[in-house]
Chain A
């Protein structure tokens, strides 16, 4: 009993706590997902800003270089001087419209720098890649005006997945050849290599070439892979169709990018706990900023390729473990835990309180039972003496003393009733202490029933109840006589108490196999079906109209059923004829009036019929 209560109380604590924890975790997870998404959006826009910064730097650089190259003659002296003095540039070049490289002059004795430049870009010059203007890609026309901002144009030959188009730009003017991003060994025929161009005035006159409309002044970037290194050429198409330009100093470009990228503050929500890596086409880290040093092999949370000619470079964001774990945990993990702890403490406190209350009540009930038990024991001996002496006195009375005899009968019957009551109390208390044990011994049930009826008939007669009997359990079986008597006593006592108004009662016994049945039917008001289950509960008494003015402890039926069950049977209310199924010779016993109890006892056969 106690362990069950303890278990219930533990459940009372654990179940809501578990439920709460589960809910909390679910909420935290949803939260974490939301925070992570918000963070990634923020991150994407941050990296986008950096990408835009790079784009602006290149755009500005292109503008400056374009005016530098446009404003000076493309002669060897100027280009040579520029090759050696321009901070942004390496080797300059001039390629004639016929494809011949005019500078660096192949015949004039090449410096080592010039030679390595020509080696690096041989396929570009041999394939006349800078001279060719594609006709399949639309050439956007621009109104004359300030320097337009560059943007991408989609080229037909771009491999799928590489065609990125930024948000609509009203003045798309610049494009880079997508296929030029492939290494030289993947160099394809020139018709598939649309050239980067930059056209700012449709009115520029130029010689009409065999390939179509006159090429205007155009300029752009030309990315080229030399080994795994991305090299960037600046190029400008001159009115005569020749192309001049220069290789951009890669370290310098990178250094300027690094210089332009603002130093992140440690309080930055994104970069304060992570790092951005600028990586080149070979995944080498060119620059890292932010306050986290990712170990080798650390997976990037987000990787964004640069747009523009440096598209083989990428920005990678690496989140520090603190940040990665921090999506929800550090923010809502603690409150969840604290809440769970608080609720857990309250529930545990409540459980302990209830447990202690329950213990106290159990103890008090036990004390009460024990008290009643002791008192009952104390009552039993004097009562037995009273009854014994009353019976002796009855024998001693003169035969004609009717008044005395009548009065003595009342004394005897009342002491018998008191005896039954005490018996019930003692049985109940034994049951409560789990000490109710039956001792079956061979006996004939009908004899036992007759003995009870004999004792009871005066009471019933006194209440004008006509008792019918139908005793058919004459076979000797192993039965606890006391139990059988007590069951019958209680049932008859109820008849006397509650159903005397019906004027008649039936007691029947039946036997079949190992089962003995005792049936008691009255003609009283009966028991409403909705309370049928209730009558067997301890201390239960039916509604007032029935129990009014009637004394009783309300344990008679409880004890009777318990006894029947201990005897391998049961005590049931018979509400329908089918309830008598299995009881032999039961036809006609059910009348549908009054209360009808059926006690079944499992009594193995102990001998022949009496």
Chain B
């Protein structure tokens, strides 16, 4: 009994959609893998990680990209006065300039009340749109909730599953009119996300509420960025538009059925685990970017041939190029071996790096919470411990990404004093959101 079971990895595509895809156009790439696909038979390591990665196909022709339906929601509260508003206007104008006649854009500005500067309209007359943006002046309060609400209303006017429906929110201040808790905004984000509208949030300067802004982005699956100086606005808008203009799939539904495996929890992106099934939704996939669901699973206590751990993954999504609803499936097994060397060698480095990154991110969040509670020393210790964990991971799996993260942790540990905490926290929240949601920038 040199080998209990031969490890087999089966990637089976269902026949009909596969044929359709083959004939009809590019498909999203589905990579399903365990961190440890081969376990030591006699006493298998229980904890394992399942990664369901989806990579958007490259866009063959930029001109054939998915048309977008966008609402740019700009903060024009008093604090935006001057350089900030100037850069925001320029960045918005430069970004809209990248759109073409098939795209739809709306511009909403809010201070103590909300004005729809440009109602949702096709980008045929850029000049009048730019003029409306240029005439924007700073006002008083920050009715952020109402701003997003009106932005959503504008997007909804031309809502189309064949478009990229998105709100880009820029704010530099605390929401102080209407609902302003991260929970309320997060719930609104979740609701919009379910509808197919993502909200990308840009926090400008050190005055905004990073919890609110990251919640809104994360729960609607938009991007988030902490923009320290107004000068960076143009670059970030550019990056965001890079994403917006490269959406290749939307309404992605992932269903995982486990056999002889117990899913414990999802790391990073949220997923609903009910018994042996895991369900997760993604709003969109961008060209050449991998988004993934990562689930911590528990393998059986002993490797028996008749109890072979197995997952069946189904991914449904709307293909933005073929406009068809596609389905991808995959089945992945865990093998058992009595050769511990072989077991170690078969470890999936990529999955393990992702897992360690997300696990460390959990600790990173814990450190933030500790610092919020005023436990500066404990927060520092948590960050230091996290750094060590990450460094070990980076050595074990030869990962630059983990090393970078370790450095980040170390830097943050040095910036927990009152003077720099605000900035550090904003940065941490951005990193946490970015890692959870695999934001590319």
Contact between B188 and A251 (Cβ–Cβ < 8 Å)?
A: yes
CA distance A249 to B188 in the complex (A): 8
Most central of A84, A255, A275 by chain B CB within 10 Å: A255
Asked if A85 is at the interface (CB within 8 A of a chain B CB), the reply is yes
Contact between A85 and B281 (Cβ–Cβ < 8 Å)?
A: yes
CA distance A87 to B177 in the complex (A): 23
Contact between A251 and B191 (Cβ–Cβ < 8 Å)?
A: yes
Contact between A249 and B272 (Cβ–Cβ < 8 Å)?
A: no
B195 to chain A, nearest CB (A): 4
CA distance A291 to B195 in the complex (A): 32
With known contacts A250-B187, A259-B156, A288-B177, A85–B194 Cβ distance under 8 A: yes
- B101-120 near A? 1/0 per residue, CB < 8 Å: 00000000000111110000
Question: For window 74-93 of chain A, which residues contact chain B by CB distance below 8 Å?
Answer: 80, 84-88, 90
With known contacts A111-B272, A287-B178, A259–B194 Cβ distance under 8 A: no
Contact partner, B274, options A108, A275, A285, Cβ 8 Å: A108
Contact between B149 and A256 (Cβ–Cβ < 8 Å)?
A: yes
Contact between A291 and B274 (Cβ–Cβ < 8 Å)?
A: no
Name 9 interchain pairs, CB-CB below 8 A, sorted by A.
A250-B187, A252-B187, A252-B191, A254-B149, A254-B179, A255-B149, A285-B177, A288-B113, A288-B143
Asked if A286 is at the interface (CB within 8 A of a chain B CB), the reply is yes
Given A255-B148, A259-B149, A293-B113, 16 more pairs with CB closer than 8 A: A88-B191, A108-B275, A111-B274, A249-B188, A250-B187, A251-B185, A256-B149, A258-B145, A258-B150, A259-B153, A259-B156, A263-B116, A287-B146, A287-B178, A288-B177, A293-B140
Asked if B45 is at the interface (CB within 8 A of a chain A CB), the reply is no
Asked if B66 is at the interface (CB within 8 A of a chain A CB), the reply is no
Contact between B178 and A288 (Cβ–Cβ < 8 Å)?
A: yes
B433 to chain A, nearest CB (A): 19
Residues of A within 8 A of B112 (CB): 288, 293
Asked if B405 is at the interface (CB within 8 A of a chain A CB), the reply is no
Contact between B187 and A249 (Cβ–Cβ < 8 Å)?
A: yes
Binding site for A on B (CB under 8 A): 112-116, 140-141, 143, 145-146, 148-150, 152-153, 156, 177-179, 184-185, 187-188, 190-192, 194-195, 272, 274-275, 279, 281
Which residue of chain B has its CB nearest to the CB of A258? B149
Most central of A251, A287, A288, A293 by chain B CB within 10 Å: A251
Contact between B177 and A254 (Cβ–Cβ < 8 Å)?
A: no
Contact between B149 and A87 (Cβ–Cβ < 8 Å)?
A: no
CA distance A562 to B320 in the complex (A): 121
Residues of A within 8 A of B145 (CB): 251, 254-255, 258, 287
Which residue of chain A has its CB nearest to the CB of B154? A259
- A241-271 near B? 1/0 per residue, CB < 8 Å: 0000000011110111011100100000000
Which residue of chain A has its CB nearest to the CB of B253? A85
The 6 closest A-B pairs by CB, nearest first: A259-B153, A255-B149, A258-B149, A252-B191, A87-B195, A251-B188
CA distance A465 to B281 in the complex (A): 141
Contact between B115 and A84 (Cβ–Cβ < 8 Å)?
A: no
Residues of A within 8 A of B274 (CB): 80, 108-109, 111
Residues of A within 8 A of B141 (CB): 293
Question: For window 109-160 of chain A, which residues contact chain B by CB distance below 8 Å?
Answer: 109, 111
Which residue of chain B has its CB nearest to the CB of A76? B274
A68 to chain B, nearest CB (A): 14
Asked if A289 is at the interface (CB within 8 A of a chain B CB), the reply is yes
Contact partner, B194, options A87, A111, A251, A258, Cβ 8 Å: A87
Contact partner, A255, options B115, B116, B188, B279, Cβ 8 Å: B188
Asked if A290 is at the interface (CB within 8 A of a chain B CB), the reply is yes
Contact between B178 and A87 (Cβ–Cβ < 8 Å)?
A: no
B112 to chain A, nearest CB (A): 5
Contact between A289 and B113 (Cβ–Cβ < 8 Å)?
A: yes
CA distance A255 to B152 in the complex (A): 8
Contact between A258 and B146 (Cβ–Cβ < 8 Å)?
A: yes
Contact between A251 and B184 (Cβ–Cβ < 8 Å)?
A: yes
B211 to chain A, nearest CB (A): 15
Contact between B179 and A286 (Cβ–Cβ < 8 Å)?
A: yes
Residues of A within 8 A of B281 (CB): 84-85
CA distance A305 to B140 in the complex (A): 28
Which residue of chain A has its CB nearest to the CB of B143? A288
Residues of B within 8 A of A80 (CB): 272, 274
Residues of B within 8 A of A259 (CB): 149-150, 152-153, 156
A313 to chain B, nearest CB (A): 13
CA distance A90 to B143 in the complex (A): 24
A105 to chain B, nearest CB (A): 10
Contact between A87 and B114 (Cβ–Cβ < 8 Å)?
A: no
A250 to chain B, nearest CB (A): 7
Which residue of chain B has its CB nearest to the CB of A290? B113
Residues of A within 8 A of B143 (CB): 287-288
Contact between A249 and B191 (Cβ–Cβ < 8 Å)?
A: yes
Contact between A251 and B195 (Cβ–Cβ < 8 Å)?
A: no
Contact partner, A289, options B114, B187, B194, Cβ 8 Å: B114
CA distance A263 to B115 in the complex (A): 7
CA distance A291 to B114 in the complex (A): 10
CA distance A88 to B426 in the complex (A): 30
CA distance A289 to B111 in the complex (A): 11
CA distance A275 to B112 in the complex (A): 11
A53 to chain B, nearest CB (A): 13
Residues of A within 8 A of B187 (CB): 90, 249-252
A124 to chain B, nearest CB (A): 20
Which residue of chain B has its CB nearest to the CB of A286? B178
CA distance A551 to B190 in the complex (A): 118
With known contacts A254-B145, A258-B149, A288-B112, A87–B191 Cβ distance under 8 A: yes
Residues of A within 8 A of B152 (CB): 255, 259
Residues of B within 8 A of A286 (CB): 178-179
Residues of B within 8 A of A86 (CB): 194
- A417-451 near B? 1/0 per residue, CB < 8 Å: 00000000000000000000000000000000000
CA distance A252 to B177 in the complex (A): 16
Residues of B within 8 A of A258 (CB): 114, 145-146, 149-150, 153, 178
A287 to chain B, nearest CB (A): 5
Question: For window 279-327 of chain A, which residues contact chain B by CB distance below 8 Å?
Answer: 285-291, 293
Which residue of chain A has its CB nearest to the CB of B148? A255
B419 to chain A, nearest CB (A): 31
Residues of A within 8 A of B116 (CB): 263
B254 to chain A, nearest CB (A): 12
Contact partner, A251, options B113, B150, B179, Cβ 8 Å: B179
Residues of A within 8 A of B184 (CB): 250-251
Residues of A within 8 A of B140 (CB): 293
With known contacts A263-B116, A287-B146, A255–B177 Cβ distance under 8 A: no
CA distance A272 to B112 in the complex (A): 14
B252 to chain A, nearest CB (A): 12
Residues of B within 8 A of A285 (CB): 177-178
Residues of B within 8 A of A293 (CB): 112-113, 140-141
Contact between B191 and A255 (Cβ–Cβ < 8 Å)?
A: yes
CA distance A84 to B275 in the complex (A): 17
A156 to chain B, nearest CB (A): 36
Residues of A within 8 A of B275 (CB): 108-109
Residues of B within 8 A of A256 (CB): 149, 153
Most central of A85, A111, A290 by chain B CB within 10 Å: A85
Residues of B within 8 A of A254 (CB): 145, 149, 178-179
CA distance A293 to B187 in the complex (A): 27
CA distance A92 to B149 in the complex (A): 24
A289 to chain B, nearest CB (A): 5
Which residue of chain A has its CB nearest to the CB of B183? A251
Residues of B within 8 A of A255 (CB): 145, 148-149, 152, 188, 191
Residues of B within 8 A of A85 (CB): 194, 281
A276 to chain B, nearest CB (A): 10
A262 to chain B, nearest CB (A): 10
CA distance A24 to B105 in the complex (A): 56
Residues of A within 8 A of B188 (CB): 249, 251-252, 255
A117 to chain B, nearest CB (A): 13
Which residue of chain B has its CB nearest to the CB of A294? B112
CA distance A109 to B184 in the complex (A): 26
